[in-house]
Amino acid sequence: MSTLIVVGAQWGDEGKGKIVHLLGKKADVIVRYQGGNNAGHTVVFDGKKFVLHQIPSGILQPGRRCVIANGVVMDPWALREEVRFLESQKIKVKGRLFISAWAHLILPYHRYLDALRESGKGKIGTTKRGIGPAYSDKVGRVGIRLADYMDPAAFKELVEQNLQAKSPLLTSLVSLDDLRKETFKDYDDLRAFFAEYIAETPTLLADALAKKKNLLFEGAQGTMLDVDFGTYPFVTSSNPIAGAACVGSGVGPAAIDEVLGVVKAYTTRVGDGPFPTELKDAFGDQLRERGQEFGATTGRPRRCGWFDAVVVRHAVRINGLTRLALTKLDVLEGVDPIRVCVAYKVDGKIVKEFPASRRAQATAEPVYKNLPGFSEPVKGITEYKKLPKAAQAYVAFLAKEVGVPMALISMGRSRDETILVDKKFRWIP
């Protein structure tokens, strides 16, 4: 038996979907433990592009069981459409997908509240899909879980309570009658849909552990969007970090063997908030175009910058990372020199750890080290020793600077475009 958590070690969009798809070949069960359909994992499988939002990307591996666990907030309509899309592509879902009865739901009034906030001074750059308000209801103890949704009398009562409580805000956008109709749209059909997938997932996972199965846990977003340890308040509403895999699935921490952090060879983020190494020039635009840095969920252009070792060291510590997976090394082909931020200057002082203060985060000046670039093509290389020497040196420098060994390098969305660096990493098929 082996258990592995895969986390993003930057601001999300690091390429976790491809990594989970690749490693999922060794997994018996793949578990999504937090986030909502604001996340998008893009994977190329059998020559087709799949963008998954709520279902674990391991669903593309034939025969694997996939779990949407209790830490996820779930949009019923969006999830049904995702299942329909997969089945239209001949991907079998029934009998392989299990949805936690404990998971909270995103309902139409959550989307309206999200849009209302994003239209005012509290704007932080969300996807307006209702994720934040759904998590707010969860911690405010007025959320509605899938188990409650499946009980018509309980669901109706809970919805009415929430609509009345939120009406001062909601009625500025929509009438309560229209919102009721929207909330109960397709209700009977959706209940029938969920009846095929709802499960007591903590028990399911405990049974899998008892049978010595391999479990792979995947989150959404990245460490720097964590509501506790990210660039608050420009963060998501949950904890993408590794510790949340236990809380968000019902699996105890003693069961976890390893944590893999996924990082890009440079840095990106979507939405507002501090980004010390951001490139607001022509080269930043070039990185965006070469790396196709546009959001999988919204299509929004991503902000681009140099690799930030301060950020990744923070992620190493917060997550307890044991190895790294590096993505998009090929995007830096022909760039010379390649710059790496190794520290910040804050109030005239050099700091090597990511600061908590929002003012310090916003004003931090990157301290760079320049490394030689490489011009030789790297796309298509599948052996580490065949990479250009300067590319190998760059990879080795990043691993040494953040203090964690490199397990693999990914240079494309296809499973085949992968280089194994650490042959002791047992999750590589």
Residues with catalytic roles: 13, 41
DSSP, residue by residue, 116-155: HHHTSTT-----SSSHHHHHHHHHTT---BHHHHTSHHHH
Of the candidates 247, 39, 248, the one whose C-alpha atom is nearest the C-alpha of residue 55 is: 39
Residues 6+ apart with CB under 8 A from 139: none
Amino acid identity at 426: R
Residue 143, both tokens: 């959320």
Reading phi first (left if > 0) and then psi (alpha if -120 to 50, else beta), residue 382 is in alpha
| Burial label, 137 (beta-carbon count in 10 A; 0-12, 13-18, 19+) | buried
**Are the CB atoms for 158 and 304 separated by under 8 Å?**
no
364-377 residues labelled b (16+ CB within 10 A) or e (exposed): bebbbeebebbeee
As a residue count, the chain comes to 429
Read off φ and ψ for residue 66, nearest 5 degrees: -125, 140
**Are the CB atoms for 103 and 147 separated by under 8 Å?**
no
How many whole angstroms separate alpha carbon 317 and alpha carbon 245?
Answer: 16
Cα dist from 30 to 10, 213, 405, whole Å: 22, 11, 24
Residue 78, both tokens: 């969006």
How many whole angstroms separate alpha carbon 38 and alpha carbon 210?
Answer: 33
How many whole angstroms separate alpha carbon 357 and alpha carbon 351?
Answer: 13
Residue 424, both tokens: 């002791």
H/E stretch holding 392 reads: helix 389-402
